[in-house]
A and B are shown apart, each in its own frame.
Chain A
Amino acid sequence: MTAKPEIASPAVGEVVLSAAVREEIDHWVAKYPPEHKQSALMAALRIAQEDNGGWLSQGHLNAVAEYLQVAPTLVTEVATFYSMYELAPVGRHKICVCTNISCMLRGSEEIMAHLTDRLGVDPGQTTPDGRFTLKTVECLGACVGAPMMQVGRTYHEHLTPERVDRILDSLE
């Protein structure tokens, strides 16, 4: 797993969650008892991230904290803990390669080597053309198809370097 970047700057712009985002968060808030709005935090972060082109600024974290009435530090803890939240801008396609035990035994190191070679970036980085962000992640629960990677929302299993090439070629 690669280290997440420190949150860039304490000087953050004010972020206002759009009405659509708020409505979607409300849908999740309604699933929990009213005094446990905090339970909707992960969903709220996902919704805010999708709305913002795949990443969350400190302003977004603060806005979510305020909307759910939880401490901003708690939101930071959650956002930095889970690998699906991005705290810096990402490319159009986010490639998450599983390097956990099953995938590693089935050759994820070779897949990673091929990806870094082809894209010319290290894990955690984005290609200069803004097309791909490459990162390593822990188990995504698809061991049966190891080695695997997730691109956007799609799982790709039984990877080989050739298969990886075909997948990447098919993406804009």
Chain B
Amino acid sequence: MLNIQINGVDVQVKHGTAIIDAAAESGIVIPRFCYHKKLSTVASCRMCLVEVEKMPKAMPACATPVAEGMKIHTKSPKALNAQRGVLEFLLINHPLDCPVCDQGGDCPLQEASLGFGGGVSHYDFDKRVLHNPDFGPLVATDMMRCILCTRCIRFSREIAGVDDISTAGRGENIRIASQTGHPLTSELSGNLIDLCPVGALTSKPARFTGRPWEYQHRSALGPHDSFGSHLQLDVRGTKVMRVVARECEEINETWLSDRDRFSYQGLYSADRLTTPRIREKGIWREVDWSTALEFVANGLQQVRKTHGAPALGALVAPTATLEESYLIQKLIRTAGSPHIDHRLRQRDFSDQAHDPVFPWLGGAITALEQKTAFLVVGSYLRKEHPLVNHRLRKAVLRGAHAMFLDAVDRAYNYPTSVSMVVPPSAWERSLLAVAKAAHAITGRAIPTGLDALWESIECEAIHRTTAEHLVNAASAVLLLGNVAHAHPRFGALRNLANAVAELTGASVGYLPEGAGTVGAWLTGCVPHRGPGGKTVTVGQDWHTMVTGGVKGLLILGAELERDCADPSAALKGLHQAAFVVSLSPWVSPAQEAYAHALLPIAPYAETSGTYLNLEGRWQSFQGVVAPLGETRPAWKVLRVLGNLMDLSGFDYFSSDQVLAEAREAIGEVTPNNAMPCVVPAAISSETPALERFGEVPPYAQDALVRRASALQATPDGRVPIAARMHSATLAGCGLIEGAQVSVRQGEGVVRLPIIVDDRVAKGCVFVPSASVETAALGPVVGGAVTVVAV
């Protein structure tokens, strides 16, 4: 510790601290533009000049480390004079158009001008004029306002890891320019809006719609991935106007993914369901809540009477809050049915007895940065879990080995050590080869039966390298992503991952898909586990349910035509069900076709609830705006439904009561992924000539983000609905790029154009899932397909 004096007060600070941070620790604010604690220090704006005794000139507080005995004055005439001078220069070319600027009222430059600037400028010449580069549908540019702090450039290079903007020119002509003319492509690009200390980069979707002083700032949580990012929703009246990041060092630091930042637009899409609807004799009509709920309760009771209680079932989207998950499983189980599931994008349940009590990351989010090697199985991590990827990127920049097992060779924003690009049917063999190679290095005990499996497996150099990196790492982890969960042999894959972990000394982590996934697991929204993982009568998984297992279905928040791993089977089953109730904030044509009642429930921002993130952290949030129209929070709807069905224990006054009960039911749970490796009897012998690979495109994950128009306009939102194939695969089929083909998978056929993409594994046909155009096809990952020219 060093002894220094700031503004006459003696303080102790750590060696190496910059003056700007030392002052902040004492509650002294020094104005700054270019300095940001998460970015490199460049000291280019000079706004933070302070007086340091015995130094001849004012010093930039951001780039001057403290020294023993240093005496600093941040408010002395010398400091203030320097700051005033800097500000006058910064404002020379600034248009001072605060009245029409979106940043006005929320602008560090405006605040600094008021607090530290002079009232008059000596400059009375022409101001420079700049063209505004196109930064895409998310970020609006107004470069006349730019003060060239370069935070945006440093963010892009240092955090987003992309090389797309830079300065161009020099002196009076220097400006921020897009390198290629292409819009920003990073999944984190919205952070530029938060970072820009002036109005040069603002939110395009929120542009000209409101002023910061009209907004109430309310807290929320990221509603998409399981990261649990802290959001600040800026609310005016009953509307969410924009979303900015709320700082939380342990989770999202100061960042947000674009998905969390811009998806709020979906709250106000034209197809929002705002009134309950029921379908009688094929005719939809809007009704009031009591009619709708009675209709639903009667319908469900009717099914129960006719087919017995186990003919009821419920499907829950992974976006449901913990309270909603808890209530719906309670409703179904109290009604006498064991059929409840939320694992809608999972296909293989054969190994579910060995599921951990809830699949989690396996440690704290911050610990990801300390990993020295990681192997991601089946995930486009960068887009699926952007901030997990960001943490791991930090690890890679410190020297960690990044390894991937995937069916597409992805563009990551850091160097990858190993990229195993093979069709899904070969993933088991790849993991087995890594396990075999690991055993050759470590000689650890072989899980029973594994050697028989790997006997015929050849270890290639890539497998040996992977095993070496995992074995040599001080801290290594295997991460199972969304596509791994959708794999037709997820159980075997998971066990082989466990085997690799055992043989290399790595740990296994799961990347739960949605914000509500962990909560759904813990509250027992799975057919084989009750709340807290307790043993229950085992019910049917979602696939068995929809393919004829149940007659009356409650669907909470999911659009099954897109939100499941086998939409064609789901749709077929739903049309045959006797009674389908969809609780959804939106209405889709498919829902209108298969549902008998549509109940408008409140999406995030309009309801209170709790999400558990991938590290098992409980985080509750409040509704920040009134539900739109007749929309009601789902927990209230489920409560009334429980009462109308004469089920006991559905008298709640608040979601807090539901939470308290759920907490008690769950009890103390210690997460543990280290399940024993149950060696599969055999590995998949299926090697189709052509097989389907159909991950969920980045902005098609759930109903909310699919309706966020600005995100949909980005390159990640415009993933072409086409069959993408490696040029070698294409040549093997005798097809050419651009041709229209019919892709057949099982009984489903769709017509698609062909795109050549050499990043796709040979033998794979990449057809995106979660799209109505491809819903007719079978299971989204794996499975033989044929491609024929039309």
Bind each other: yes
Chain A residues with CB below 8 A from B179, complex form: 72-73, 76
Q: Is the beta-carbon distance between B170 and A82 smaller than 8 angstroms?
A: yes
Chain A residues with CB below 8 A from B181, complex form: 10
Given contacts A10-B180, A10-B182, contact A3 B166 (CB under 8 A): no
Q: Is the beta-carbon distance between A73 and B170 smaller than 8 angstroms?
A: no
B274 CB → nearest A CB, Å: 44
Q: Is A88 an interface residue (CB 8 A)?
A: no
Q: Is B164 an interface residue (CB 8 A)?
A: yes
CA distance A77 to B181 in the complex (A): 15
Q: Is A1 an interface residue (CB 8 A)?
A: yes
Q: Of residues 136 to 192 in B, which have CB atoms within 8 Å of A's CB atoms?
A: 153, 157, 163-174, 177, 179-182
Q: Is the beta-carbon distance between A76 and B166 smaller than 8 angstroms?
A: yes
Q: Is the beta-carbon distance between B164 and A73 smaller than 8 angstroms?
A: yes
Q: Is the beta-carbon distance between B169 and A4 smaller than 8 angstroms?
A: yes
Given contacts A71-B163, A73-B179, contact A80 B157 (CB under 8 A): no
CA distance A125 to B181 in the complex (A): 24
Chain A count of residues within 8 A CB distance of the other chain? 16
Q: Is A30 an interface residue (CB 8 A)?
A: no
**For this complex, into which size category does the number of interface residues on chain B fall?**
10 to 19
Q: Is the beta-carbon distance between A1 and B163 smaller than 8 angstroms?
A: no
Chain B residues with CB below 8 A from A73, complex form: 153, 157, 163-166, 179
CA distance A72 to B165 in the complex (A): 10
Q: Is the beta-carbon distance between B168 and A80 smaller than 8 angstroms?
A: yes
Q: Is the beta-carbon distance between A81 and B157 smaller than 8 angstroms?
A: no
CA distance A72 to B163 in the complex (A): 7
Residue from B157, B167, B172 with most neighbouring chain A CB atoms (10 Å) = B167
B28 CB → nearest A CB, Å: 35
Given contacts A10-B181, A71-B157, A73-B179, contact A4 B173 (CB under 8 A): yes
CA distance A72 to B168 in the complex (A): 12
Q: Is the beta-carbon distance between B170 and A80 smaller than 8 angstroms?
A: yes
B184 CB → nearest A CB, Å: 13
CA distance A73 to B163 in the complex (A): 6
Q: Is the beta-carbon distance between A80 and B169 smaller than 8 angstroms?
A: yes
CA distance A4 to B171 in the complex (A): 12
Chain B residues with CB below 8 A from A71, complex form: 157, 163
B602 CB → nearest A CB, Å: 44
Nearest chain-A residue to B131 (Cβ)? A6
Question: Interface SS of chain A: helix, strand, loop or mixed?
Answer: loop
CA distance A76 to B164 in the complex (A): 11
Q: Is A74 an interface residue (CB 8 A)?
A: yes
A78 CB → nearest B CB, Å: 10
A3 CB → nearest B CB, Å: 5
Q: Of residues 10 to 43 in B, which have CB atoms within 8 Å of A's CB atoms?
A: none
A63 CB → nearest B CB, Å: 15
Chain B residues with CB below 8 A from A74, complex form: 166
Q: Is the beta-carbon distance between B157 and A76 smaller than 8 angstroms?
A: no
C-beta contact mask, B694-729 vs A, less than 8 Å → 1, else 0?
000000000000000000000000000000000000
Nearest chain-B residue to A11 (Cβ)? B181
Q: Is the beta-carbon distance between A3 and B169 smaller than 8 angstroms?
A: yes
Nearest chain-B residue to A81 (Cβ)? B170
Chain A residues with CB below 8 A from B170, complex form: 1, 80-83
CA distance A3 to B177 in the complex (A): 14
C-beta contact mask, A12-38 vs B, less than 8 Å → 1, else 0?
000000000000000000000000000
B439 CB → nearest A CB, Å: 37
CA distance A3 to B128 in the complex (A): 11
Question: Top 4 nearest A-B pairs by Cβ distance?
Answer: A73-B166, A10-B181, A80-B168, A71-B163
Q: List 28 A-B contacts (CB under 8 A).
A: A1-B170, A3-B173, A4-B168, A4-B169, A4-B173, A6-B168, A6-B177, A10-B182, A71-B157, A71-B163, A72-B163, A72-B179, A73-B153, A73-B164, A73-B165, A73-B166, A73-B179, A74-B166, A76-B166, A76-B168, A76-B179, A77-B167, A77-B168, A80-B168, A80-B170, A81-B167, A82-B170, A83-B170
Residues in chain B within 8 A of chain A (CB atoms): 153, 157, 163-174, 177, 179-182
Residues in chain A within 8 A of chain B (CB atoms): 1, 3-4, 6-7, 10, 71-74, 76-77, 80-83
**Additional A-B contacts beyond A3-B169, A72-B179, A76-B179 (18; CB < 8 A):** A1-B170, A3-B173, A4-B169, A10-B180, A71-B163, A72-B163, A73-B163, A73-B165, A73-B179, A74-B166, A77-B167, A80-B167, A80-B169, A80-B170, A81-B170, A81-B174, A82-B170, A83-B170
